[in-house]
């Protein structure tokens, strides 16, 4: 998506060889008009899929997911990274590793919100090593739900996330694919 590439170049910042900071529009401050453009692109890409629910992992995948949920008129479920006093009912749970924060999370989803009747579109903000995506797929499989598609806003294509996810039999659609963050310069895949 050329508009996303332009936005990344204008508002993003390469922090070393493997971290891209996009908090000006996606991870800290959210640009709602641009989120709607991302959602429209995702809707168009997955228009032939039978989707009745969108899932994401808190927090940065929530904004594009909610806008897409609005366009598709389907609920959005986000997998929580921590439990609370009110999230104590029957849960699907799995562990994931955050590449950016270099920590493990246990993600959870109430069994009330995901089941075998669901055909889900998984949306996430970034794909690096694929751990978050594979963890989310694990929760979806625990619910016996069907993964209809995987949409990623920004893929760091120089890392092996896509290969890991595709090796499990899932196709990945990334709206922007970064080939390099070498010397602070953001380069996109052709």
- Which pair of tokens denotes residue 40? 């429209």
Q: For position 84, what pLDDT does the model report?
A: 66
Return left, alpha or beta for 16; rule: phi > 0 is left, psi -120 to 50 is alpha, else beta.
Answer: left
Average pLDDT over residues 28-45: 96
Residues belonging to the binding site are 20, 27, 128-132, 156
- Which pair of tokens denotes residue 124? 């996430």
Residues belonging to the binding site for 5-phospho-alpha-D-ribose 1-diphosphate are 128-132
Task: Tell me the CATH number at 113.
Answer: 3.40.50.2020
Return left, alpha or beta for 97; rule: phi > 0 is left, psi -120 to 50 is alpha, else beta.
Answer: beta
pTM, to two decimals: 0.94
The three-state secondary structure class of 87 is: coil
Q: Residue 121's domain spans which residues?
A: 2-188
pLDDT at 184 over 70: yes
Query: How many domains are there within the chain?
Result: 1
Q: For position 130, what pLDDT does the model report?
A: 95
Residues belonging to the binding site for xanthine are 20, 27, 156
DSSP state of 2: H
The mean predicted confidence, pLDDT, of the chain is 94
């Amino acid at each position: 998506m050329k508009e996303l590439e332009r936005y990344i170049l204008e508002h993003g910042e390469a922090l070393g060889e493997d971290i891209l900071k996009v908090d000006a529009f996606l991870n800290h401050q959210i640009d709602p008009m641009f989120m709607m453009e991302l959602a429209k692109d995702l809707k168009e890409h997955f228009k032939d899929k039978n989707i009745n629910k969108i899932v994401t992992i808190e927090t940065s995948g929530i904004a594009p997911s909610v806008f897409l949920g609005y366009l598709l008129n389907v609920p959005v479920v986000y997998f929580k990274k921590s439990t609370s006093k009110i999230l104590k009912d029957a849960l699907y749970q799995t562990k994931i590793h955050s590449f950016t924060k270099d920590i493990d999370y246990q993600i959870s989803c109430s069994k009330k919100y995901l089941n075998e009747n669901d055909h889900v579109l998984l949306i996430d903000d970034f794909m690096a090593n694929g751990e978050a995506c594979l963890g989310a797929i694990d929760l979806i499989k625990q619910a016996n739900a069907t993964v209809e598609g995987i949409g990623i806003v920004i893929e760091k294509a120089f890392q092996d996330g896509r290969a890991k996810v595709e090796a499990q039999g899932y196709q990945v659609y990334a709206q922007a694919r970064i080939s390099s963050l070498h010397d602070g310069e953001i380069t996109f895949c052709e």
